[in-house]
Amino acid sequence: MLAWAKRHIPEALLIPAGLGALTVTTLSDIDEVVPWGQELGIGVSELAFAYVGAYIFNWLIVERPRAKALQGYYVAAGTELEELVYSPVQIVQHLFLICNPAIDAPTSTSADNLERLLSSVNWAEMDKQGMHPEKFLGYIVESYKSAYQSLAPILNNFEPPVSVAIAQLNAQEIHRILKYLFDHPSAASMGNMQDIFVDALVRYQRAGLRLAQALEESRYTGRLKRRGSNGAPTTSLYSAVQAS
């Protein structure tokens, strides 16, 4: 209840305001107990009715149109938003697929697991065979770029937590590291950049989860809520990223 009140302060204040207005109206015919009781009652009543009226006006003029607009933006951008959220997941899964196909690829993993995974590969031999990172990660990067470029013109139209999470995801160091690996396939190797790559990828995973959580907590992202198999309850995009 407290968590709901923190996220919905106007609605939480509406309850005592409505109760206050109703109480003062009900008790208006009762003789005052103190000399200033009538003035206090009038003040409380006017304040309560003013808040209720302002809330209704704000809902009709501001919140209702804004809710429809946000729902429209999230519906239109749903595919691109999911692409951003799943980009870290896809990188992790493809690394496992290339480095150790015998292991079921997780959606996220720790720095220690990534270091063990990358250390198990002879990257010099991979480079000789032409298996540069761009071969198995290039299309993921291009898909991410395309999705972000599509969202950039309307980025400020999302709710602030979502816009901030997208900006943080796009600012991750992993983008620059991958670009360097792609642009210098003969000079750069995943083997000699392992430490900074692992650190950047772990941070990238966290940024993806922050975006998924921001989308989950929004009241306007119904399209991004997923229904489980066999009629299971709806799960959030955040949960799907963690467990899919």
Q: Report phi then psi at 110, rounded to 5.
A: -90, 170
**CA–CA separation, 98 and 85 (whole Å):** 22
Of residues 6 and 221, more confidence is placed in 221
CA atoms within 13 Å, Cβ hemisphere of 133? 27
Whether the model pTM is above 0.75: no
Banded pLDDT at 115 (limits 50, 70, 90): confident
User: Cα–Cα distances in Å, from 210 out to 46, 105, 132, 189, 203?
Assistant: 43, 21, 30, 30, 11
**CA–CA separation, 241 and 225 (whole Å):** 12
* Range name among 76-85, 141-150, 220-229 with the lowest pLDDT average: 220-229
The DSSP annotation for 5-28 comes to HHH-HHHHHHHHHHHHHHHHHHTT
In the chain, where do the E strands start and end? 226-227, 234-235
Contact 115, 190 (CB under 8 A): no
Residue 146 is predicted with a pLDDT of 95
pLDDT in tens, 135-169: 878 899 999 999 999 999 999 999 999 999 999 99
Contact 129, 136 (CB under 8 A): no
| First and final C-alpha spacing in the chain | 30
User: For the chain, how many helices (H) and strands (E)?
Assistant: 12, 2
CA atoms within 13 Å, Cβ hemisphere of 122? 3
Calculate mean pLDDT across residues 222-232. Answer: 53
pLDDT in tens, 162-216: 999 999 999 999 999 888 888 876 655 666 778 888 899 999 999 999 999 899 8
Residue 159 is predicted with a pLDDT of 92
Q: Is the pLDDT of residue 57 over 90?
A: no
Residue 91 carries which DSSP code? H
Banded pLDDT at 227 (limits 50, 70, 90): very low
User: Cα–Cα distances in Å, from 168 out to 70, 152, 206, 208?
Assistant: 21, 13, 10, 9
